[in-house]
Amino acid sequence: MAKRRLKTIILGVILGGIIGSALSFFLAGLFPRGPVKNLLFSALKVGFSTAKVNLGFFTFSIGLSINITLITIIFIFLVMYLLHKV
């Protein structure tokens, strides 16, 4: 039962994040400049910048960042609620 709940949470966060980010990207072009657009579509960048690792014979770069908007957060909770009801 706990495994199913964890899978539902992970699926909800991933699906909600993808749908919310895509919708946020497309709707941002439709709204005129102003405080509502700033509130809904200003992204908070979370993560760490690119780090270069050089092992002499092998070099690679690693980095991760996530842009979170209010629309993304709303859709994450909406998808998690819908998955919980199913």
pLDDT, one tens digit per residue, over 6-51 is: 888 888 889 988 998 889 888 888 888 888 888 888 888 889 888 8
Tokens encoding 44 = 């908070």
What is the predicted pLDDT for the residue at 43?
Answer: 86
Flag whether pLDDT at 1 surpasses 70.
no
Angle at 46 between CA 41 and CA 40, to 5 degrees: 10
48-70 pLDDT tens trace: 888 898 988 899 999 988 888 99
Q: Are 25 and 18 in contact (CB under 8 A)?
A: no
Which pLDDT value is given to residue 44? Answer: 86
Q: Decide if pLDDT at 2 tops 80.
A: no
